[in-house]
Amino acid sequence: MDFPMFHLDWLNNRMLIAGIATLHVIINHGLAVGFIPFVTWLEQKGIRKSANNQITDLKWDQMVYKMMKVAFIITTTIGALTGVGIWFSASLISPTSIGSLIRVFYWAWFTEWLVFVTEVVLIMIYFLTWKNSNSSLKAKIRHIRFGWFLSLASWITMVIIVAILGFMMDPGNWTSNPNLINGFTNPLYLPQLFFRTPMAMLMAGVFGLFLITLFAKKEHEIRQYAVRAASKWIVFWSPFTLLGAYVYYKAIPEGMTANMSTAVGTIDFAQYYDLLKYIIIGGISLAVVIATVGLIRARIVRAYMVVVPVLFVFAFLGFFERVREFVRKPYVIGQYMYSNLLLEEDYPVYQKEGVLKHATYTSVSEITQENKVQAGEEVFMLACSRCHTGQGVNSVVDVFERMMGTKDTLNVNTMKAYMPNMHTGRNYMPPFPGNEAEAEALAVFIRYLQDTRATIEGAQTKGVDINPNYSVETLIKNQLNQPIDDHNE
């Protein structure tokens, strides 16, 4: 309401955030939170398996260094870019929600940024001083300690961010007593952390096993030892991951789990929910299978055998992120702000007086017979554009054509009658925030989109319009017309 609406009509706004965020989480969990302790653990093993006249097993250390190099390059390039990309895309597409989260979690985010800066410094030290650390046993032990400190810093960043992610799903008693502590200790915080921690470790183990098969020579004794080590890591963390997923799922409010089938692949693919949910069990099972092979017959493990488990485990986390993003609908912040960025407590006013009247950035404040299409577009931008497009992904035209079961011309009166009740039929959609006139204008606009196949432009291409009621001239005029307060004479 208080920001111009950025809009991508071909992609869908939430898809932009989802794509960037999912890639970032996969890299963060698999190659930072989980992989750094895995690599540090392997580096430590190099000292234990070295000869008496060696500081560490140099061939082993070289293999582990190559693994760390892959993680270092990916996390400091794609990982860093997607981290910034989340902030950039969220600021464009969901500025009201990100602003609210900053206000609630200001000190938590401040702390997270301090830890993140520490993490960046530590990963630079850990990677860039690796080779020099082999000069003495004391230097090598100090280097390994840096690895464990880096592991702790990586995990702490997740500890803080997971609290915010849990808050967005279920703020708990924050709604009645808003403060940082209540926001941080939301009902989904610990269950989600309990899932994400072992999940990160499992991803690291499977990806690490893949790198071992690439960097260690096939018949070398080091390769077999490393394959068994990675396999032990996978077997250890797999049951905790499965248990964490179950605990997390059971902690999700019942109203959110009702959205689960749609969350998996949008409403078009809801019928495949029973198939897709097996990605969870399948990903863990494949990891355990390849780990078992690695423990029993380490010599036969090849890179191509690990590719499918890697893809499944990474898809497992991506699938969970997709579900987490969707099941909290119709809210972007549970029980507080709807996914259209309108506050739940403001809805009675919007539904009585209309959403356009209270919008800062709109070209229409009052609907007439002549401006219905334009008014409908403004209502769409305010109430629908965070999740729907005109002609692209999750097109509002396609949605109504599906519901009506026809590709024929959509009926304006039918759509208008449906809108006030759409939340009842589809509880993952926010209630319609406007009044009857705005519902009709929106229906007229959707019909216009179907007839013309026009696309919808966001503020980045269309420009910005100010509500005529909020213009400088109007505000000055209203101020001058106000009666003089006798007490101030």
- What confidence category does residue 187 fall into, taking pLDDT thresholds of 50, 70 and 90? very high
Calpha distance 261→249 (Å, rounded): 13
Angle, nearest 10°, between helix axes 106-128 and 137-169? 150
CB 392 within 8 A of CB 9: yes
- Is pLDDT at 270 greater than 70 in this prediction? no
- Is pLDDT at 267 greater than 60 in this prediction? no
What does residue 12 show for φ and ψ, rounded to 5 degrees? 95, 130
- What confidence category does residue 487 fall into, taking pLDDT thresholds of 50, 70 and 90? very low
Residue-level pLDDT at 210: 97
Residue-level pLDDT at 83: 94
List, for residues 312-344, the tens digit of each pLDDT value.
899 888 877 877 777 788 899 999 999 999 999
Which residue do the tokens 């921690």 mark? 197
- What confidence category does residue 271 fall into, taking pLDDT thresholds of 50, 70 and 90? very low
Please choose, from the candidates 386, 406, 400, 382, the residue with its C-alpha nearest in 3D space to the C-alpha of residue 448. Answer: 400
CB 60 within 8 A of CB 228: no
Calpha distance 227→428 (Å, rounded): 45
> Residue 259 carries which DSSP code?
T
Give strand pairing partners of 130. Answer: none
Residue-level pLDDT at 483: 62
Average pLDDT across the chain, whole number: 89
Residue-level pLDDT at 277: 65
Counting residues of the chain whose pLDDT is more than 90, the rounded percentage is 72
Higher pLDDT, 385 or 427: 385
- What confidence category does residue 2 fall into, taking pLDDT thresholds of 50, 70 and 90? confident
Counting residues of the chain whose pLDDT is more than 70, the rounded percentage is 93
- Rounded alpha-carbon distances, angstroms, from residue 139 to 126, 142, 456: 12, 5, 61
Omega within 30 of 0 (cis) for the link into 239: no
Per-residue pLDDT averaged across 233-255, rounded?
A: 89
- What confidence category does residue 258 fall into, taking pLDDT thresholds of 50, 70 and 90? low
- The SS3 call for residue 358 is helix
Residue-level pLDDT at 120: 94
- What confidence category does residue 127 fall into, taking pLDDT thresholds of 50, 70 and 90? very high
- Is pLDDT at 269 greater than 50 in this prediction? no
List, for residues 102-111, the tens digit of each pLDDT value.
999 999 999 9
Higher pLDDT, 52 or 202: 202
Calpha distance 15→99 (Å, rounded): 20
Give strand pairing partners of 389. Answer: 395
- What confidence category does residue 76 fall into, taking pLDDT thresholds of 50, 70 and 90? very high
